């Protein structure tokens, strides 16, 4: 089995954005034989608990049945959205101390913001970010230039911990996008990591995701326009690409996944 | 003062348009339930009342015919009656939702006295199908009260006696005061006049005293007539019939100058202009033009009429012309010159629209959708404003989009465009392909063109030249071409 770990997954604990429960994501990841699954909600670790209990239940069922199928490893984490930078960071703690630093970081951000929000800056992430794998999720490089100084700043403080996430968008420009990101990765010295930008566990949750978008934006489904999901590719996928699935022909060696421990 | 009360205005108006035999009622939805808004005499005789719930009314009278009430039409009907009532007095105003009040000082003798005026009024209204009651009294308040309680005439100087027997509710006072008065045993107007004013004012406030004074003539209450809406029309009669094109154009210019001055005074512009040519042999030739935007520029409108007037058959001559603007829109004065672009495009739309029809001159407007076929709207140019397209983001779109056309090629491996294919009987070879861009149908909208499921769009550059936008439908494997890049 080709080992693939999904490192960027949004559950429904990112309110009005994620369209699947953490339990559904874990179950689907086990079906797809994923190596690991990181639950990275926006400025929150609330989904990790549910995913952890779901994984415990799956382990119990497997042990009762006496099977030996591998289960995905759960990587707790959060997607840190900063106030002073367009780059979002997936913070994946490597040990218990880093986990408590991550929760501290989120607490301090939530304390200084009104309820439901979290105000964090790059300085906060530098203060509390030790011991985590930090994956940069820049905005679409074909629409806005990547703020490279922000990537370099983080790389200076946490050498060897920072990565550049590359997620396919399936809009026909993925080869250019990956080329562009590879250039950024080369100049900033951040290794590239393949992520899936997962919003749902299966493609049939696309209507629900669109309805959530309507609720978030305060519009009706007829007015959603271009804000809808154009396709159901932001789902949990296995490493093996299905025949019918979109596969951008790679021009350079596929970005390699770094195992972080 | 003459007060006219239309007891069943709404149902009378509805029945005039569509007569119904038997019980009839108009219903109005308020607070989640249908209520009776207005009924005819048959329905009232059966015990139905206004404001009754429709369900109760149906229980009492199962074969009740009902229609939903149209409050706007009711108001328009009352406005028409107000105009008609201008035959009795120049000063007529609407009084509430179902009444009129007219100042007939010095008018009654033209109709042979007040009695004759009232009987003339009732005859005409009855012939028109309206249930009406009217009263003539020295004051507006007294006439109002009497019209709603039987009607009649109060003689000069006998106001207090004439309306003393009427209930206090007819004084136009609010419902709360009415209830308190009834509880105190003061049910007639005469009961109130007998009481000392000071204590009455202290107890019920100045409103009651004001209404009482207005009814008894101690306080003036004039009728303010509503102004008639402006009629945008001008007319010209000739001492001798005319027939030459140049004469007609000269007359038209004279009429247009009048009409445009009238439009300018009311800050409006014409959307349609109608010219009627009255011939000597009593035939009327109408010429009507539409305008793409509200306009009151005489020379431009005259230019649009030029073509039509050339084709007019003047016969033995035209003795009168009438120019009217039946449809107008607000048009505020604006500074011209000084950098403001001349509205040549609107003139072009007017010219084309008058030749081809205004629905056939169309423009494209941007629309928000990821589906290529629905990313634009087609709207009539004369009735829409141009909109700038949104800034181009996301993948490039072809300059030309057409309905999907089949492409024949050998079966392709998944995720790869065809190397050789035929499109529009041309044999094409792929040089470079970028893609795929995956677009799924909008799940809330069943589009027959998208029944084949999701599409993977590819941008293909061919050796032969055309740069095409092809798509593949994996759920029913086929290739189609939908657009061409520049």
Residues of A with CB under 8 A from a CB of B: 143, 170-173, 175, 206-207, 210, 221-223, 225-226, 228-233, 243-247, 249
Nearest chain A CA: its distance from B422 CA (Å): 23
CB of B391 within 8 Å of any CB in chain A?
Answer: no
Nearest chain B CA: its distance from A124 CA (Å): 33
CA angle A210, A216, A217 (to 5 degrees): 90
Question: Using CB atoms, which residue from A143, A206, A232 is nearest to B393?
Answer: A143
Q: Are B179 and B168 in contact (CB under 8 A)?
A: no
Q: CA gyration radius for chain B?
A: 35
Residues linked to residue B290 through DSSP beta bridges, in sequence order: B272
Residue B327 in this model has a pLDDT that exceeds 70: yes
Helices (H) and strands (E) in chain A, counts: 7, 7
What is the per-residue pLDDT across A43-52, written as a single tens digit (0 to 9) for each? 999 999 999 9
Task: Determine the pLDDT at residue A213.
Answer: 94
Interface probe with B: pick from A211, A212, A230, most Cβ of B within 10 Å: A230
Sign of the CA dihedral running B40, B44, B49, B55: negative
Report the alpha-carbon distance of residue B323 to residue B296 in Å, rounded: 13
What is the per-residue pLDDT across B76-85, written as a single tens digit (0 to 9) for each? 899 889 989 8
Average pLDDT of span B345-372 = 86
Q: Which residues in chain A are contacts of B454 at CB distance < 8 A?
A: 231
Question: Using CB atoms, which residue from A225, A229, A246 is nearest to B456?
Answer: A246
Question: Using CB atoms, which residue from A171, A225, A229 is nearest to B395?
Answer: A171
Nearest chain A CA: its distance from B372 CA (Å): 11
Please give the mean pLDDT across all residues of chain B. 87
> Exposed/middle/buried for A130, CB within 10 Å: 0-12, 13-18, 19+?
middle
Report the alpha-carbon distance of residue A107 to residue B437 in Å, rounded: 40
Label residue A250 by pLDDT band (50, 70, 90). Answer: very low
Nearest chain A CA: its distance from B478 CA (Å): 13
Q: Which residues in chain A are contacts of B434 at CB distance < 8 A?
A: 172-173, 175
Residues linked to residue B228 through DSSP beta bridges, in sequence order: none
Task: Determine the pLDDT at residue A216.
Answer: 93
Label residue A190 by pLDDT band (50, 70, 90). Answer: very high
CA angle B309, B314, B317 (to 5 degrees): 130
Q: Which two tokens stand for residue B95?
A: 């009084």
CB pairs under 8 A between A and B: 63
Average pLDDT of span B107-124 = 90
Average pLDDT of span B255-262 = 92
- Coil, strand or helix at B113: coil
Phi, psi of B456 (to 5 degrees): -110, 110
Q: Are A78 and A106 in contact (CB under 8 A)?
A: yes
Instruction: Say whether B440 and A244 touch across the interface (CB within 8 A).
Output: no
Nearest CA in chain A to B454: A231
- Where do we find the tokens 């009238």? B262
Question: Using CB atoms, which residue from A143, A170, A244 is nearest to B437?
Answer: A170
What is the per-residue pLDDT across A84-102, written as a single tens digit (0 to 9) for each? 999 999 999 999 999 999 9
Q: Which two tokens stand for residue B24?
A: 């009839």
Average pLDDT of span B127-147 = 89
Instruction: Say whether B457 and A247 touch across the interface (CB within 8 A).
Output: no
- Looking at the whole model, is its pTM more than 0.80? no
Q: Which residues in chain A are contacts of B457 at CB distance < 8 A?
A: 172
Per cent of chain B over pLDDT 70 is 98
* Residues near B54 by beta carbon (within 8 Å), at least 6 away in sequence: B27, B33, B34, B35, B36, B66
Question: Using CB atoms, which residue from A171, A232, A243 is nearest to B440?
Answer: A232
Render B348-399 in DSSP notation, one character per residue.
Answer: HHHHHHHHH-TTTSEEEEE---SSGGGSEEEEEGGGS---PPPP--SS---S
- Where do we find the tokens 């994501």? A25
């Amino acid at each position: 089995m080709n080992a693939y770990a999904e490192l960027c997954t949004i559950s429904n604990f990112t309110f009005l954005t994620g369209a699947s429960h953490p339990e559904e994501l874990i179950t689907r990841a086990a079906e797809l034989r994923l190596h690991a699954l990181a639950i990275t909600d926006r400025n929150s670790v609330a989904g990790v608990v549910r995913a952890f209990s779901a994984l415990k239940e799956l382990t119990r069922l497997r042990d009762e049945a006496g099977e030996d199928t591998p289960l995905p490893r759960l990587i707790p984490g959060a997607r840190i959205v900063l106030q002073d930078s367009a780059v979002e960071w997936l913070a994946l703690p490597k040990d218990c101390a880093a986990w408590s630093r991550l929760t501290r970081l989120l607490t301090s951000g939530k304390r200084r913001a009104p309820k439901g929000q979290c105000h964090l800056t790059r300085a906060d992430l530098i203060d509390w970010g030790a011991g985590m794998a930090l994956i940069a999720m820049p905005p679409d490089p074909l629409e806005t230039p990547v703020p490279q100084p922000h990537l370099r700043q983080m790389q200076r403080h946490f050498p060897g911990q920072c990565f550049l996430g590359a997620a396919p968008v399936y809009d026909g420009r993925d080869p250019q996008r990956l080329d562009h990101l590879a250039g950024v990765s080369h100049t900033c010295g951040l290794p590239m990591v393949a992520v899936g930008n997962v919003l749902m566990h299966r493609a049939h949750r696309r209507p629900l995701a669109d309805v959530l978008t309507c609720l978030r934006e305060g519009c009706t489904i007829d007015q959603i326009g271009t804000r809808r999901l154009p396709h159901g590719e932001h789902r949990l996928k296995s490493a093996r690409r299905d025949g019918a699935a979109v596969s951008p022909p790679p021009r350079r060696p596929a970005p390699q996944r770094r195992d972080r421990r | 003062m003459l007060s006219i009360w239309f007891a069943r205005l709404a149902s009378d108006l509805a029945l005039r348009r569509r007569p119904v035999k038997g019980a009839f009622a108009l219903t109005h939805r308020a607070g989640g339930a249908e209520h009776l808004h207005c009924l005819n005499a048959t329905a009232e005789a059966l015990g139905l009342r206004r404001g009754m719930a429709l369900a109760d009314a149906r229980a009492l009278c199962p074969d009740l015919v009902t229609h939903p009430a149209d409050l706007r039409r009711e108001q328009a009907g009352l406005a028409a009656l107000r105009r008609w009532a201008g035959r009795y007095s120049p000063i007529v105003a609407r009084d509430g939702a179902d009444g009129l009040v007219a100042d007939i000082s010095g008018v009654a003798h033209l109709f042979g006295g007040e009695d004759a005026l009232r009987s003339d009024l009732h005859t005409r209204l009855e012939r028109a199908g309206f249930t009406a009651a009217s009263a003539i009294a020295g004051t507006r308040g007294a006439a109002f009260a009497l019209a709603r309680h039987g009607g009649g005439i109060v003689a000069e100087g006998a106001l207090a006696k004439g309306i003393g027997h009427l209930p206090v509710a007819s004084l136009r006072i609010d419902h709360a005061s009415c209830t308190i008065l009834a509880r105190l045993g003061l049910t007639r107007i005469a009961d109130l006049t007998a009481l000392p004013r000071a204590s009455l004012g202290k107890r019920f406030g100045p409103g009651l005293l004001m209404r009482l004074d207005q009814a008894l003539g101690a306080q003036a209450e004039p009728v303010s007539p509503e102004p008639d809406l402006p009629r945008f029309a001008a007319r010209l009669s000739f001492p001798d019939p005319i027939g030459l094109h140049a004469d007609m154009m000269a007359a038209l210019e004279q009429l247009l100058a009048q009409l445009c001055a009238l439009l300018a005074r009311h800050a409006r512009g014409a959307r349609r202009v109608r010219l009627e040519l009255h011939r000597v042999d009593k035939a009327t030739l109408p010429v009507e033009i539409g305008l793409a935007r509200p306009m009151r520029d005489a020379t431009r409108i005259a230019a649009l009429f030029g073509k039509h007037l050339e084709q007019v058959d003047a016969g033995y001559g035209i003795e009168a012309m009438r120019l009217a603007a039946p449809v107008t829109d607000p048009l505020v004065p604006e500074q011209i010159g000084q950098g403001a672009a001349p509205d040549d495009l609107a003139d072009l739309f007017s010219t084309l629209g008058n030749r081809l029809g205004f629905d056939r001159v169309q423009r494209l407007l941007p629309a928000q959708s990821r589906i290529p076929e629905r990313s634009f709207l087609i709207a009539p140019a004369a009735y829409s404003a141009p909109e700038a397209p949104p800034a181009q983001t996301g993948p490039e779109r072809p300059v030309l989009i057409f309905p999907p056309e089949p492409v024949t090629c050998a079966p392709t491996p998944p995720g790869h465009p065809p190397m050789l294919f035929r499109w529009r009987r041309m044999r094409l070879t792929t040089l470079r392909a970028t893609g795929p861009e995956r677009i799924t149908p909008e799940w809330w909208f069943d589009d027959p063109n998208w029944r084949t499921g999701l599409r993977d769009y590819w941008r293909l550059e061919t050796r032969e030249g055309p740069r095409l936008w092809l798509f593949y439908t994996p759920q029913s494997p086929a290739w189609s071409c939908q657009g061409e890049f520049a």
